[in-house]
Amino acid sequence: MQRIFRHRAGSERGFVIIAVLWILAALAALATIFSVYLSQSSRALAVTDTRLVAEALVSASLELTAYQLFLADEKSRPSEGSFHFRLDNVDALVTFTSEAARVDLNAASKEMLANLFEVLGTEQRAATDIADRIVGWRSPPKANSTDNEEALYLAAGLAYGPRGAPFAHVNELSLVLGVSPELVERVLPFVTVFNSSPEIDVLIAAPEVIAALPGMTPERLNDFLKQRSSLPRDKDSIATALGPAKAAATLPKPKAFRVLTALRFDDGRRTASEAVIALDKGKSNNTNTSGNTTTNTNTGANTNTNTNTSANTNTNTNTNANTRGSAAGDGNKEPFRILSWHDDLGIAPRLLRQAGG
């Protein structure tokens, strides 16, 4: 009898030990899951904190850029420049360039546009066709006439037609008939919608843009690039250096600037942002500061370019540009407006290296 009792007692103790072990295993699993959750949460908070710091530093870089530009009057205002600053544990390198260095999709001549695409490797006839389509996209349809541009888009099987109005953003170029995504990527560094002029500031423009000037030849281009750094900012001197290509060149009073900000954190993290600002000293800032806005209307969040096509199709081109103002408030006089803002750029490795690596 005692043996049976002892056997039952031993079995019960063994069952309790197994149950305890299972409970301990479950608790260990819960502890592991909770630790993973805390680790992921801390990483997410760190990323959010980095983004907030980066946004604040980019805003500061835009204000410092505007301040430097307003130190000079319009006649002596620089068309490009750079500066560096450090705040807490972040190095920032800022460069700014006038939008007059780029070809304006809304203002450039058909010949200038065709030349640019040809310079970038497009066959001559195809480049001319693309220039025609760009002009057709930005031009309003003529009253009481057959819209040939609309017919071309329908014949290509597209569910939309040309905008019939100026480009709202350069990314809208991807909607133009005949412009491939690869060609859009090649041309984006050389075009803008913020120049508002068919003329180019040749003292700061890229060689590809200067090569696209009507009347420019390879020989004259090489000669001009060799002497450009020594040329005075004088219309007559520039006209002499350009020769027949001088018609589309100018020395504008820059109003819009593209600002590249490269940030390097002490822990090794890096990021780059690009914004376009317009200098509007003394103008009243009555723009909408909340919600989604069109690229050119400024100071909202998450800018979207809404393209209303003539086929009654709404094509939403997300510019990934958060348009933020230096300060909000109706009636306030702001020194500048932010026209576009792009974060997390992959286009500025050189700037990132200069910013501390």
End-to-end CA, the chain: 83
Q: What is the reported pLDDT for 286?
A: 40
- In the chain, the domains with their CATH numbers are 55-102+195-199+252-289+325-357 (3.30.1300), 106-190+305-317 (1.10.40.60)
Say what the pLDDT of residue 324 is: 46
Q: CB pairs under 8 A, 24+ apart, for 118-127?
A: 118/212, 119/208, 119/211, 119/212, 120/183, 120/186, 120/187, 120/190, 120/208, 121/186, 122/183, 126/178
What's the pLDDT score for residue 8?
55
Query: What are residue 337's phi and psi, to 5 degrees?
Result: -120, 145
Residue pLDDT, tens place only, 50-98: 788 889 999 999 999 999 999 888 788 899 999 999 988 899 999 999 9
Q: Are strands 249-250 and 200-201 parallel, antiparallel or unpaired?
A: parallel
Q: CB–CB of 262/347 below 8 Å?
A: no
Label residue 282 left, alpha or beta by phi (over 0 means left) and psi (-120 to 50 means alpha): left
CB 263 within 8 A of CB 271: yes
Name 307's Cβ contacts closer than 8 Å, sequence gap at least 6.
160, 163, 168, 172, 175, 314, 315, 316, 317
pLDDT of residue 12: 60
Give the H/E segment covering residue 279.
Answer: strand 270-285
The span from the CA of 30 to the CA of 290, in Å, is 43
* Tokens read off for 149: 């541009």
Please give the torsion angle defined by the CA atoms of residues 219, 220, 226 and 229, in that order, rounded to the nearest 10 degrees: -160
Please give the backbone phi and psi of residue 267, each rounded to the nearest 5 degrees, phi first.
Answer: -85, 5
Listed in sequence order, the residues at least 6 apart from 342 whose beta carbon sits closer than 8 Å to its beta carbon are 273, 274, 275, 319, 320, 321
Q: Could you give the CA distance from residue 35 to residue 305 in angstroms, rounded to a whole number?
A: 43
In whole angstroms, give the CA distance from residue 124 to residue 129: 9
Q: Report the C-alpha dihedral over residues 22, 25, 30, 33, rounded to 10 degrees.
A: -140
Residue showing tokens 């820059």 = 254
Q: How far apart are CA 210 and CA 223, in angstroms?
A: 12
- 95-110 as b/e, with b when 16 or more CB fall inside 10 Å? bbbbbbbbbbbbbbee
- How confident is the model at residue 110, as a pLDDT? 96
Give exposure, 294-305, as e/b (b: 16+ Cβ within 10 Å). ebbebbbeebbb
Helix (H) or strand (E) holding 116: helix 110-119
Q: Which residues contact 143 (CB under 8 A, 6 or more apart)?
A: none
Give one DSSP letter per residue of 54-95, joined into a string.
HHHHHHHHHHHHHHHHHTS-TTT--SEEEEEEEETTEEEEEE
Ranges of residues in the chain with a pLDDT under 50 are 5, 282-331, 347-348, 351-357
Q: What is the pLDDT of residue 346?
A: 58
pLDDT at res. 217: 92
